[in-house]
Structure 1
Amino acid sequence: MSIRKPTGLALVAALAAVVAGAAAVLACGPDFPLQLLDNRAGTLKSTPANSFAYEASHLVSANDALKAVESLTGNDSSPDTPDKPILTADQMKTVQAMRALGNGDTAFALGDGVPDAVRLYTAAAVDYKASNATVPSCDAGAASTASAGDHAAASTRSSTKRAASCRAAQKRAESDAAAAGVRAQQRFQAVLDLPRASSDLRVVWAAYMLGKMHADASAGAGNDATAERAAAVQSFALARARARDGARDPWGLAVASYGEEARLYLYSGGIRCDDSDFDNRTACVDAIAPADLSRAIALYAEQAARGSTSGQVSLIVIAGWALSSPARATRLVGDPLTPLTQRLLVAYGLARLGDVVKDDPASTTDFFARRDLNGHNGYADTARGDKDVKANPVLTALVAAIEKQGIERSAGADRLAALAYRLGRYDVAQTLIAHDDSALASWVRAKLALRNGDLTAAAQAYAQASKAFPPNDASLDSGSAALVKGEQGVLTLARGQYADALDQLYAASLRKEKASGVDDVYLGNDGSGVGYAEDAAYVAERVLTTDELKSWIDAHVPASAVPAPPIPASSISLAGDQYYQWRLQHRRTMNDMLRTLLARRLVRDGRVDEALPYFPADNDPRFVDIDYRNDKVIVTPWQARTWAAAYGAALHDAQHAWRSTTRAQAWFTAATLARTHGMEIMGYEQEPDFATFDGAFDGGAGRRSAWQPAADSSSGPAAPPPDTPAQRAAADLPGSFVTDGERQRYASSEAKPDTRFHYRAVAADEALNAANLLPPRSQAFATVLCHGAAFVRYDDDRANAIYQRYVKEGAAVPFAAHFGRDCPAPDFRAASRFPYVQAWRATRYWVHRYLYVPVGVALLGIVGVGWWYRRDRARRAG
């Protein structure tokens, strides 16, 4: 147990409090990740720190295999569960009947045939419950009040009689409870006295309960508190010893006993201080003997080291109290400070205590203090260099007090070095890590080198920190190890080593994915909140050239295996829970994202045939469209490979077909595919299309959507928006740690055109290509222009320009009134015949209007022929 006893929702809240110490967290909204590349200087200057959960569980090393068991609903929610392997069905029924009784003696008598340890313990538990039963209240409110009038005296006599009766009942209840307590204690002890082979079924339970009873008695009036505490300590130690020897402990009571024992040392003047005393900073806690407080911390650390969230929460409560003011921090350090207590306070200060924002002391405990500084949640960190952030005076006092005692004797030198670095005590940090080769020390060394402008030394220190994890180094948790690799990637990118930077950001993503087990770059990010995948995607999409990326992926990123679908169908209907449960077990991977990113980039470059192998297979059920109908999830698989192949074939025909109308039809097919499936086959992973979110958001990933502080209205009018790729690159990549080469590559890889959903504009261009090959007065010409306008309907200028072309060149058509909204299919067959039909129609019209001309010509021809014939005949006769 702990200072707090979190169960149910309380335990969920406590667990959230423990893991909230992560260095980076999710922003509000649709959980946009914190990208390391958003603020490179801040990223590289930030304080190295592990989560408090990790540090609390590593304050001491567990020297046994005991593990915590902490149910969200409490251990008593399924009391029969641990007995199923050891009791027969009849014995189980007997135990259940015993529990339902109100007296231990009666329960014991009923337990014939049950193993001795179980029989004794169950009877003792019945009496223990009875000993804690509510005693009747006999206060004034419990007795009836006297009535008014002539019955006042009688009512008073009746009330007095009832009060006397209540007091008698109260004394009997108190006596019965005390007797039940004695019987319970005797039977718990009887379990311990059984032969080892018999007692193992319940000995840990019985020893734990004896410890609790002695612990409660130590606070009772008239009891020998010292003797009771000693007996409690002995019982808790026995529970742990027997559990280590193999006695059954399905509820993890051996580990819980550490917390119960710790509470024995949180007394002040004979009064136990509880969590409210710690939270409210009462005099009770201030008066606890320092030696007792250190002993409690040591026991909670043992509990936390064995996986207990309850132990971690207790350490949070104590450390939060100790670091609530400089005076308390200094007093605790000067007691003198034990190595374990020092490590606890330093760990808490790094993970769960922020610096002061805008001179507001309350901001040090505000988990949202960083939101106005960099757009993300988290405790303020003065090392980042954010405006209006000052060092926390409590932490400054802590480091000064430790320094006064002699930092050469400091426990956890690398952690203390990290805290000193955060507070600007670079000299202290350098001294502490001078002879420390841990991964955390190397991480601090890299930060100090960056402060000195030595990028080469920083790169070497990052390499050492990354290399040290994970084989033989416990100085970093898995999240911090991923962060080290990610920061290494940021520095490598700043040094112009672009492929190596992608290597490192990719490795950080894999470390995170492996550590969390739930990372899915398509469905969202895990609780660490750092968007390594987004940073890696930026480098892959906007910094490396297409050929560099293709070579890198061929060397490092194999395709993932295609899992079997939930049910074999091309379009499936599942209950939502059923599909998402399957999806949790078959996630898209970082490799899938990078390969698809390359495929879409190759399509944009016109290298469609090369792109096809990098698209997910058409039968991969992880790549689907999801719809909800009638409380069902309708899952329709993508066919990106088929769509891309069709798009490539259409582009080929558009450029090589013999007949112009065939080329026009091919352009229109390409345009339709680009508009309908452009996100899947050519969309940018990040801006401007945001395929990473299926286009649902127009920010949250990439450089252009990086968080920027609110503009200062006093700084004058805003600068005009950039209108060239180079200007946009300069605007999107401000600050230090960005090379000119990166900006040039960023500009050259910009979407063409650089508009939201750029593939819609591509589709419109291809529709115009089709129109250029069609007779202007044909139905197909008007129709492809209608579709082209529809493709860019949200771009008023572009849609209007297409409409004006139709008005200028096209023929009147029935759908002109709703041009760009409701367009029929183009009739390319009619368009192919259109020139000949038009020529024939023109001839017919001319003949119909000028009939006398051909008739006269014909008559003249006939007269001429007759004259010639007569002349020729006369010549022959002569």
Structure 2
Amino acid sequence: MSRHSTISWRSCLLGLVILCLFGSSVGWAREAAGPSIPPNFLAYPPYSGFSWEATHLLPVTHDNFMVVETDDGALYRGMVQARAMTEKQDERTRQERARQAKLTAVPARWTSQFEAMKSAATGDAAYQKGNGMPAAIRLYTAAAVDFHRAHPVTIERSEDFYRRQPSAQGPLSSVQVTALGHAIERFKAVLDLPDADKVPRAMAAAYMLGRSYALRDQTGDIPKAEKAFERTRSMARDGFPDPDGLAVASYGEQARLRRAQGDLAGALHLYAEQAAHGSVVGVESLKWVSQALYQDPQGMAKVENIPIGQRVLIAYALQANDDGRILDYAYTPGQHSPIFYGFYDPKGMQPILTIAKSWPPAKIAWPDRLAALAFRAGDRDFARHLLVNQHSPLAWWLRAKLQVADGKLAAAETSYRRVVTMTGMHDTAVNSLSPFNGAAACSEMAQLERVRGQFIQAIKDTLTCTAKYGWQHQDSGIVEYLADRVLTTGELMHLVDAYPVSDRKPSVQWQPYDVAVRILHSVLAKRLVREGRFKEAIHYADPTGDWRLRSDDPSYDTGLSPTLKNQLDLIRAYVNAKDQSVHADTDVKRAQAWYQLALLTRMYYSDITAHDSVMHAQDGGPAYPGISSAERLRLKQNYAGPDQANLHWYIARKDALHAAKLVPARSQAYAAILCHGAHWMFQAPPVDGRDPGKLYAATYRLYLRNGAYVPWGRSFGRHCPDPDFAKAAVPEWRYEAGKWFKRVRQDAYAVGASIILGLVLAGWLVGKSLSRKGGRGN
């Protein structure tokens, strides 16, 4: 054998050994000495979504400009997350808009004349019809009529939103140019009025003056248009009412002019200003520019000296390379704002990275964003290079993922904690993460802690993140899983003691944090019930909620108190029934307690005894990918089977049989109890070799063998009345004696009535006979 063949053989053997070792460490289904890493940690491409990036290109402004894009209702609602606006802020904005609208409304006494002006054929005719009206309204309305003559087309923004390029404007006719000239003069006349007189139409006049100059586009018109748009914003800052959001709209109109002149940097800055105010149209415009850059192989080179341009191009590239599986990668529900899903286009990603690699570091304006794109492209070395000396939340998140890839789990956990510390629900900083991504980083940190065996800390951090992000972080699944299947009872009790249940009203005021804490208490209470520690279970049971049965719902069995409304009530009832089933002073009372146990188990097993996570052998693995030997050992120790979620039908039937044995076999209660037991088998699925059909038949045979005839016997096992325990409590001899005395009384009444009737009849006959004899004697 040659030396080379020996090396080849040894290399192959070594390769096989490494492959076997690697294979044994991948997947939760195999035993492993150390933790296996969830693949989602590396598959999920971290980015905040185009709408978020577009609205965070510039610092938050404090000019209180109104944003009104009423024809973009659905798109506007999609921007709420990006704008980080609370409901209270939104309500204040609506109230302020209503206040300003009153200042610009046409007075009621001028309404009919105003409508006549709008229907005029020309601005001059409209002006004549407005004789006597307030000067600002009269001048503006006449100018608007002329503007409409020159530009009659109205673009529906919500339809235009998904077009890849904005519509082009054709050349104007001489009639249109003349009309625009008249409009311009009247818009200027409005602005020349004293401030008090021009208030109703000041903002509209300035904005429309800019649009008129831009539309006419004669020599010197474009600079005038820009000045008019700048004046629009200046007047809004000075307090002129702007209920139509024209100040924000003016950013986009001016940016359009800059873009037409080839001033890419100026256009991007104005669009960014518009988007920073929460404008969907501003985001839409940035999307158009970014798309054109992305489709240009030299697009990155064109924004080499435009930091905002680099960021929107990278943001577009990240979203264009989202193949729709982002929600499969993340550990938290939610989604990025639906700006332009469906434009999956990976081919433009590599030119951006290639050009950026040729630049000196100082040229890269957003290293963390570019590192995310490199990570998405699988170029981890370039991503590591870009992250040197970067400390934004996104940088620390990417660093954590790269540390996971390198097997440095402790360092990765530290990096994740930096991300969580630096992010929040309403961040407005330029380098912040969206709430979706902040919550996702929280979830990944908790999952990494679970993988590393830090189970209690994983629950604590999940609760902290849930309180921080609210509905963006509804990751209560890991809390439920760890509490139910991984922690010991002692560990869980110690943890729950630190998290009391909120006294907020359910349904209306509950937040995800409240729900997660309730889950902890509920899981512990049920575990204590299963362990027979009833007093402690009552202490930890969740006292909130209102789960009372609807008496008009035929899908529920009756027989339980209507006052049972939450887990605490249910466990108290269960514990009391357990006690009475043993210590009640009569058989019938014990039977009634067993029947209560049967009903509670059948209807509320999930709130009293059930596991919150699947425990059956067929589904007994971990609930999440990635597992350590410590977690697997705990899963085995806490294993319970078969699945309680289906076994409860059979437990309820068994309890019902206990109850039936304690009541007289010929009683109605006996038949009714067995009827319910059979009914549950009629509904139950097979579990662990149990055949519900056979048990149904066995229950029915038991009734036929021992029970008495009942009028509803034909519907046995399908429609069952409540057991009459009060009647069953009466001894059978007393019951039979009562029936005999009743019959005797009934017979006595009949005999007495017959005697009386006979006496009456006899008296009548005697009287008649005497009357005849008397007649003959006379």
Return the TM-score normalized by structure 1.
0.63
Could you tell me which residue of structure 1 aligns to residue 446 of structure 2?
A: 489
Q: CA deviation at 1:670?
A: 1.3
Q: Deviations over 1:168-204 (max 9, x none)?
A: xxxxx97665443221110111223334554454333
Q: CA deviation at 1:440?
A: 1.5
Could you tell me which residue of structure 1 aligns to residue 102 of structure 2?
A: 84
Is the 2:610–2:644 contact (alpha carbons within 8 Å) kept by the matching residues of 1? no
Partner amino acid for 1:639? K
Is the 1:553–1:595 contact (alpha carbons within 8 Å) kept by the matching residues of 2? no
Whole-Å Cα distance in 2 between the matches of residues 626 and 94 of structure 1?
62
Whole-Å Cα distance in 2 between the matches of residues 628 and 92 of structure 1?
56
Could you tell me which residue of structure 1 aligns to residue 599 of structure 2?
A: 672
Deviates more, 1:435-444 or 1:107-116: 107-116
Could you tell me which residue of structure 1 aligns to residue 181 of structure 2?
A: 182
Partner amino acid for 1:464? R
- Is 1:410–2:364 an aligned residue pair? yes
Could you tell me which residue of structure 2 aligns to residue 453 of structure 1?
A: 407
Equivalence map 1:29-428=2 (5 Å):
40-43=38-41, 45-73=43-71, 82-85=100-103, 88-91=107-110, 94-111=113-130, 114-132=133-151, 177-218=176-217, 223-224=218-219, 227-267=220-260, 291-324=262-295, 328-333=296-301, 336=304, 338-354=306-322, 364=323, 367=324, 392-428=346-382
**CA 254–47 in structure 1, closer or farther in 2 if over 3 Å, else same:** same
Whole-Å Cα distance in 1 between the matches of residues 148 and 553 of structure 2?
51
Is the 2:665–2:707 contact (alpha carbons within 8 Å) kept by the matching residues of 1? no
Could you tell me which residue of structure 2 aligns to residue 769 of structure 1?
A: 658
- Is 1:801–2:695 an aligned residue pair? yes
Partner amino acid for 2:685? D
Equivalence map 1:521-670=2 (5 Å):
531-562=474-505, 586-587=509-510, 589-592=512-515, 594-595=517-518, 598-599=521-522, 601-603=524-526, 604-605=529-530, 606-612=532-538, 639-640=565-566, 641-670=568-597
Partner amino acid for 1:239? T
Partner amino acid for 2:397? W
Partner amino acid for 1:443? W
Q: CA deviation at 1:292?
A: 3.4
Whole-Å Cα distance in 1 between the matches of residues 735 and 519 of structure 2?
48
Whole-Å Cα distance in 2 between the matches of residues 174 and 322 of structure 1?
34
Deviates more, 1:474-483 or 1:194-203: 194-203
Partner amino acid for 1:53? S
Partner amino acid for 2:314? V
Could you tell me which residue of structure 2 aligns to residue 729 of structure 1?
A: 620
Whole-Å Cα distance in 2 between the matches of residues 494 and 374 of structure 1?
14
The gaps in structure 2 that reach 5 residues or longer are 1-34, 74-96, 154-171, 337-343, 555-561, 738-778
Q: Deviations over 1:299-358 (max 9, x none)?
A: 21121011101111222233234334xxx143442564522111111112223422xxxx
Whole-Å Cα distance in 2 between the matches of residues 460 and 599 of structure 1?
32
1:556 partner SS: coil
Q: CA deviation at 1:593?
A: 5.2
Deviates more, 1:744-753 or 1:494-503: 744-753
Q: CA deviation at 1:244?
A: 2.3
**CA 621–68 in structure 1, closer or farther in 2 if over 3 Å, else same:** farther
Is the 1:478–1:511 contact (alpha carbons within 8 Å) kept by the matching residues of 2? no
Q: CA deviation at 1:597?
A: 5.7
1:70 partner SS: coil
Is the 1:125–1:184 contact (alpha carbons within 8 Å) kept by the matching residues of 2? yes
Whole-Å Cα distance in 1 between the matches of residues 533 and 479 of structure 2?
23
**CA 307–626 in structure 1, closer or farther in 2 if over 3 Å, else same:** farther
Q: CA RMSD in A?
A: 4.3
Partner amino acid for 2:235? R
Partner amino acid for 1:298? H
Partner amino acid for 1:742? E
Partner amino acid for 2:479? A
2:70 partner SS: coil
Is the 2:474–2:512 contact (alpha carbons within 8 Å) kept by the matching residues of 1? no
Whole-Å Cα distance in 1 between the matches of residues 461 and 146 of structure 2?
63
User: Percent of aligned positions with the same letter in both sequences?
Assistant: 31
**CA 799–819 in structure 1, closer or farther in 2 if over 3 Å, else same:** farther
Whole-Å Cα distance in 2 between the matches of residues 626 and 329 of structure 1?
69
Is the 1:68–1:308 contact (alpha carbons within 8 Å) kept by the matching residues of 2? no
Could you tell me which residue of structure 2 aligns to residue 580 of structure 1?
A: none
Deviates more, 1:650-659 or 1:482-491: 650-659
Whole-Å Cα distance in 1 between the matches of residues 592 and 563 of structure 2?
27
Q: CA deviation at 1:487?
A: 1.2
Whole-Å Cα distance in 1 between the matches of residues 56 and 552 of structure 2?
46
Is the 1:785–1:803 contact (alpha carbons within 8 Å) kept by the matching residues of 2? no
- Is 1:791–2:680 an aligned residue pair? yes
2:120 partner SS: coil
Partner amino acid for 2:502? A
Could you tell me which residue of structure 1 aligns to residue 388 of structure 2?
A: 434
Would you say how many aligned residue pairs link Structure 1 and Structure 2?
A: 632
Could you tell me which residue of structure 1 aligns to residue 341 of structure 2?
A: none
Whole-Å Cα distance in 1 between the matches of residues 245 and 133 of structure 2?
23
Q: CA deviation at 1:502?
A: 0.9
Q: Deviations over 1:263-318 (max 9, x none)?
A: 22454xxxxxxxxxxxxxxxxxxxxx8x5344333321121011101111222233
The gaps in structure 1 that reach 5 residues or longer are 1-36, 135-172, 268-288, 355-363, 380-389, 514-518, 520-527, 564-582, 630-635, 689-722, 841-878
Q: CA deviation at 1:493?
A: 1.1
**CA 831–335 in structure 1, closer or farther in 2 if over 3 Å, else same:** closer
Q: Which has the higher helix share?
A: 2
Is the 1:596–1:615 contact (alpha carbons within 8 Å) kept by the matching residues of 2? no
Could you tell me which residue of structure 2 aligns to residue 711 of structure 1?
A: none
Q: CA deviation at 1:803?
A: 3.8
Q: CA deviation at 1:426?
A: 2.0
Deviates more, 1:763-772 or 1:422-431: 763-772
Q: Deviations over 1:617-654 (max 9, x none)?
A: 57x5698869999xxxxxx9971244433222111111
Q: CA deviation at 1:447?
A: 0.8
Could you tell me which residue of structure 2 aligns to residue 137 of structure 1?
A: none
Partner amino acid for 1:214? Y
Whole-Å Cα distance in 2 between the matches of residues 538 and 458 of structure 1?
23
Match of 2:706 among 792, 811, 817: 811
Whole-Å Cα distance in 1 between the matches of residues 586 and 552 of structure 2?
42
Whole-Å Cα distance in 1 between the matches of residues 362 and 548 of structure 2?
57
1:56 partner SS: helix
Q: Deviations over 1:113-133 (max 9, x none)?
A: 554333322221122223345
Is the 1:418–1:429 contact (alpha carbons within 8 Å) kept by the matching residues of 2? yes
Q: CA deviation at 1:454?
A: 0.7
Q: CA deviation at 1:535?
A: 3.0
Q: CA deviation at 1:205?
A: 1.7
Deviates more, 1:233-242 or 1:781-790: 781-790
Is the 1:391–1:423 contact (alpha carbons within 8 Å) kept by the matching residues of 2? no
Q: Deviations over 1:827-863 (max 9, x none)?
A: 65676777989999xxxxxxxxxxxxxxxxxxxxxxx
Whole-Å Cα distance in 2 between the matches of residues 90 and 806 of structure 1?
84
Partner amino acid for 1:801? L
Q: Deviations over 1:22-47 (max 9, x none)?
A: xxxxxxxxxxxxxxx99933146522
Partner amino acid for 2:565? Q
Partner amino acid for 1:811? N
Is the 2:311–2:366 contact (alpha carbons within 8 Å) kept by the matching residues of 1? yes
Partner amino acid for 1:318? V
Q: Deviations over 1:736-759 (max 9, x none)?
A: 2x1233334445555654054443
1:441 partner SS: helix
